[in-house]
Structures are given as C-alpha cells and as structure tokens.
Structure 1
Amino acid sequence: MKNIILATTALVATAGVAAADVSISGYARFGATYSDNADDWNTASRLRLQFDVSTETDGGIVFGARQRFQTEENLSTGGATDPNNSNGARFYMSTNGFTLAMGNILGVIEAAPNLYLPTASSGMGLEGNGFYSLAANTSSNGGRFAWTAYDSAGAGAVEGVEVLYSMNGFGAHIHSTEYSYGVGANYTFSGYTVAVAYEEWDAAAPGGQVDGDSILFASIGGTIGAFDVALAYASTEFSGVEADKWSLKGGYDFGTGLTVYGFVASEDVVDESYGIGASYDLGGGVSLEGGITQTDEALDDTIVSLGAFFSF
C-alpha cells in the first residue's frame, strides 16, 4: 500500500492537469415521524449539500474529493451529536477501473450491492424507519453504523484506505482502518448482481466493536420487468453475540409515478420485522414518500415516516 501511495504522489508531481470539475448536489426532505412506543408524532427534516471536485491529468488519471455538509433536526437518523456539521472528506485517484481512496472511506459492507433498498431514504418511508430491511443491521450489532461506512454526519467517522476495481461486470473492494479490515467482490450479469463482503475487527473501535467481531454479508438482486427484488443474508458477531439474518425486499413500479416497495426480514436472535412503503414521483426530482415498519421483538415498535423529498 505504501508503494501505491508513493506512486500516486509521484504522479501528482509530474503529470499536468488537463481538465477540472466542481459540482454541488444534494437533497432535502421534511415531514413527520411516529413511534408507537413513544405514542408521539414529531417533525423530521434533513438538508444535505455534497461537493464533488475532480481533475484529470494529461495521462487520464482522475484525482478527486468529496465533502458533505448536513443539517438535521432528527438526531436519531443522523447518528451525530451535532445536527449541523460537515463530514470528513474522501480523497481518491482513479484510472482504468482502479480506484485508490483514503480518508472518510466507503467500507466494503456499506458499498456492497443490495445492502439497501433502492428508495429515496435507502430504507422505508421518508427516514428509513430504523433500517430493519438491512440484513447486516441485526439486534446484536447496535445499528447500521456498526460497520465501516462513509460518515455523512461528521461525528465518529473512521479514517482508512480502500482499493476498488471494476471491469466487465466484476467488482472487487478491500479496505483497511486502524480498527478493521474488509474484503468484498460482486458480479453483474443479465440484470442481476451477486455480492459478498466481509469485515473483521482486530482492535476496539469507536462503534463498540472489539477484537474478533465480524460481519459476513451476501446478496443477489436484480430486476424482472417492473419488479426489483433482492435477497440478502448476514452473519454478525459483536461482543460475543452471534446472529444470522435474512432479508427479502423488493418493489414494483406502476409506470404512473407510483412505486410500492416492502421487505420482510428474519433474525435468529429475535423474530421477524417487516414494512411497506410507497413513493410518488411529482417530477423535477420531487417525490412524496411514506412507509410503515413493524420492528422485531427486541424493540416491538411500529414506526412511520412520511413527507416530501427533493434532490438537486
């Protein structure tokens, strides 16, 4: 890895800049959430601004970075101690399907295909509803931020180095941080993608992981006409607690702007969780989002989130 970094430094010093690009994108959402356990409705909102900068050398090597700024009312979905913050940057160089990145890295589990639902929130409804649809999000690992992931909220980001390769439908991904290492691979064929990813910790981490903790994730997903469907499995071990979880999720596009989606998940430590939601496309990047989730017996809650979402 040190040789790769030294080679990258040499390229910066010797290659001329041929093109540069700066883009700003993001999204906003606002609406309401409800928890049956709390028996209370609350307002919820988020504004995310994403800055992507890149430049390309005369030799065709792209150097870039990503930075996010996020304002959030509902701290429970942001995973931050301060709802108004910027996150750590991710830096990368890319050429011929090969990418070397460092800083606020993606992580092999977080980047694995079919981990999330293909919805505006990546989960159910406007805010994800706890992301029980994720096979890797088991009751034993304390939540979806237990694995190494690109941190959007600014607090608790784990710095690391990762290498990604993609060519002819095949993808490979490895990462290394102060606390863990990970490896993953995926392959796309005939509209379907199969994936496997593994992360193991060798030191106590800020997320509560200890030496020997691990996540194994595997999935297959694709489209069948107007349907999209994915089946995912994860085996997790955190602080001596092991769990296996399956998640079946999918959606149907009616072709009228309305998409209905849902999931059912089963974990051996607790019973099933399930949810159903809908999205209505108003055009111009604007949609109405709503969803309801019944959690597993560990929390035994009914969660609702609904409202407006728009991207730019």
Structure 2
Amino acid sequence: MKNILLSSAAIVAFAGAAAAESHMGVTFSGTAELGYNTDDNPGFVGDDNEGFYSDLEITIGLAAELDNGLTAAASIDFEDLADGTGFGDAEYELSLTSETSGLYFGDTQFAAERMWVAAGDMEQDSFSEADGEEVLRGELTYGMVEAQMSYALTNNEGTRVTDDLDQLSLGVSADFGNFNVVAAYQEESDEAAGFYSGGVAPQGDNGDFNQSEIFGLSVGTAFAGADVRLAYVTNQTTDENSTGVSVTYPFGPVTGTVYYVDESNGDANYGVTLAYVNGPIAVELDYDNDQGVNKTGLEGSYDVGNGLTVYAGYLTQDSTDDRYYVAGTYDLGSGAELLVSYADDDSNVDEDEIGANEYQRGTTVQVTFEF
C-alpha cells in the first residue's frame, strides 16, 4: 500500500508540472463483471473462481501537451477492486514523449520483450516479461530504425534492486527495403536467484522473469505473397540456442503458417496452423510438436447476428485428458455483454484459461460492463 500511495503522489506531482505548461486532459474508464461459475474439478493450481464472483477495474489517465512539443502523461489502473480481496492492486505508468522519442516509468514492458519477433516456438527466446515490476524504459525512432532500452528498478513486490538498475534490456528494429531486421538483448540479472519469482503469487511472483543473458537476431521479408522469417537466439548463461524459420502464406479465405525450430538442447519444435475466415465463420486448426509432445487444437466461432456469437473448441495433447468448450456471447448494448460457457479440462493443462478466449473450467454465466 505504501508503494501505491507514493506512486499516486508521484503521478499527481508529474501531472501538476505538466498542467503548468498547458491544458490538462483527464479520462476515466473502467470495467465491471459479475458472474457465477460451477467448477467441475475445483482445487487445481490456477483456478479462477467458484461460485459467485465479481471484479471492478478503474483506469485514470492524465495528459498534457507542453510548450516544447513534448507530451506528459500518467495513468493509474486500479484492479481487483471488487473481488473480495480488499483494496486491490494498482499499476501506474508515467511518460514523457515526442514524435520520435519517449521515456516511460512504472508498469511498462522491457525493451527486448517489446521488440523481439520470433520464428515459431523457440525455447531459448525467453526474454524477461514484465509483470508488476517497476521499469524505466526509453525509446527512439530515427527514420526506419526504432531502438528501445530498459532497466528493472524493483521486483513486483516493490522491493528495490541492489544497484538501482538491473538487467539492461535492448531492442532494435530496422527496415531495409523489403527486409525487417530485429535484434534483442538482455544482460544477466545481478540479483540473487528467486528475487523476481520467489514471492507469493500473484503480487510477488513473476515466473516470466528470466535472469539469464540472452541475445537474439531475427530477419523477415515478404515475396510472392508469403511472409518469411528466420531467427536465431542464444542463452549465453546456459550456452543453449534456437534457430527457427517460419512461413505464412494466404490462399483464398485460408492463411497457412508453418515453422521449424532446431534446438541445441532437446527435440526440434515444429508446427502448422490453418486459419479460415469467411463472413460470419472463423475456424483455426493448429498442430504443434513441442519438445516431442504432440498438441492439436481445433477452435471456431460463428456470428449468428443480432449480437449473438457462438464458440466451440477441442484441444488435445499427449499424456493428458482432452479439453473442450462451448460458449456464447450476447451483446447487451452500451458496452455490456453476457457470456455463457462450459469448458472441461480434467488434467488442468490450461489452468482455468481454456482455449483462445481463456474460458473457466465448468459452467460460467457472466455479465461484463465497460464504462
């Protein structure tokens, strides 16, 4: 709570300085949901809800254009205000931007995370992903080149890093004619193992923070209607690497994507996806071989009209029970939507986030409002 109050005070001070130069713009937005879920197999790690549940999220945005052409902005996002856990969580971001550059502070992504473009399922491109850490990030665009740099200042419990700045992260994307080149790098973290992932979930545990030194290079181009990308990434800490190629090609209402990734440690990864979109119908068939594990998914939707859309999906992989779901959404108007779904995942593969739309296990009836 102390960190939230200090962050809020910083936002007010930042906004006040901006207001002295120009007119202040303030926006309020939010979402609310009320639902009921009957979990067929409760008690799994990652369960979302069982019985009645509710949630409220409010976002406050502030912005001002300064006389020197810069834009000062701040946002604070209050989450989980009505889920029964108390005051909830708050995330904030401060920014100072121009047409070609920007400085961001707070809950923002790391540079390599933002810029990296993979070629399929690459085991070693596990650049750290921000999830509640306090981050300082800068970005600059010059012609066809965009560069970003960031550091971590705290873990997601608000504990300061030892040397003020930790794990330099870099990302660069450049276009040369018909080619796009992306380079990403993060240095090895100076913090002790578990500093970013040893807390109590969800506020104090970021399993997507990787303390290793990682470098990646990715090149993409388009020709004859196909998008092709070749990528190489190496984990310097563990001395392991991934080399992948992916090709995407549309033919009629179908878009096909295939990829193959050679891994220095473990089996190769490969897969194919066929996505069909035609009028109210959308269907996707996906097959992946992930480190020797076969995974197949078939998901689709149909826009019935009058605000009603129905969804269905079937997913399976080796050594697990099959998952499936049926669902429907109805647009109630003015930002309100009704969801009714049933999903089954007896092996808890997706941890109550089943399918592309992340349905909860069991039967769910939920109303969502946007303001």
TM range (shorter): 0.5 to 0.7
C-alpha distance in structure 1 between counterparts of 2:41 and 2:337, whole Å: 28
Residue pairs, 1:89-238, within 5 angstroms: 89-96=92-99, 98-107=101-110, 147-149=129-131, 157-163=132-138, 175-177=150-152, 178=166, 181=169, 183=171, 202=189, 203=191, 204=194, 205-206=196-197, 207-208=206-207, 209=209, 211-212=211-212, 225-226=279-280
Instruction: Output the CA distance in 2 between the equivalents of 1:179 and 1:242.
Output: 32
Residue 181 of structure 1 deviates from its aligned partner by 3.8
Aligned equivalents of 1:304, 1:273: Cα separation in 2: 14
Q: Distance in 2 between matches of 1:101 and 1:222?
A: 39
Residues 67 and 86 in structure 1, CA contact (< 8 A), matched pair in contact too? no
Counterpart position of 2:252: none
In structure 2, stretches of 5+ residues that fail to align are 1-15, 44-48, 153-165, 176-181, 198-205, 215-232, 234-241, 249-256, 258-274, 353-360
The answer for unaligned runs of 5 or more in structure 1 is 1-11, 76-81, 113-134, 150-156, 188-194
Q: Deviations over 1:139-186 (max 9, x none)?
A: xx9xxxx9423xxxxxxx211123467999998866442357475879
3-state SS of paired residue (2:130): coil
Aligned length: 248
Percent identity between matched residues is 22
Pair 262,101 (structure 1): closer, same or farther in 2 beyond 3 Å: farther
CA shift in 2, pair 1:258/1:179, >3 Å: farther
Which moved further from structure 2: 290-299 or 301-310? 290-299
- For residues 89 and 95 of structure 1, the distance between their equivalents in structure 2, rounded to whole angstroms, comes to 20
Shift in Å, 1:44: 0.9
Q: Given the superposition, is the C-alpha separation of residues 73 and 169 from structure 1 closer, same or farther in structure 2, using an over 3 Å criterion? A: farther
RMSD after superposition: 5.5
Contact 1:175 1:183 in 2 (8 A): no
Distance 1:102 1:246, change over 3 A: farther
**Conserved 8 A contact 1:15-1:59:** no
Render the CA deviation track for 1:254-302: whole Å, top value 9, x for unaligned.
Answer: 3311123455566678676443432111111111012333337355984
* Matched position secondary structure for 1:89: strand
Structure 2: distance between partners of 1:263 and 1:165:
42
Residue range with higher mean Cα deviation, 46-55 or 291-300? 291-300
**2:52: which partner in 1?**
43
Amino acid aligned to 1:92: S
**1:284–1:176: structure 2 CA closer, same or farther, 3 Å change rule?**
same
Deviation at 1:15, TM superposition (A): 11
Normalization by structure 1: what TM-score?
0.56
| Contact 1:66 1:90 survives alignment (8 Å) | yes
Amino acid at match of 2:331: D
**CA shift in 2, pair 1:228/1:97, >3 Å:** farther
Q: What is the match of residue 163 of structure 2?
A: none
The CA distance in 2 between the partners of 1:53 and 1:105, in whole Å, is 16
Q: Distance in 1 between matches of 2:337 and 2:87?
A: 24
- Secondary structure of the 1:44 match is strand
Q: Is the 8 A contact 2:147 2:170 kept in 1?
A: no
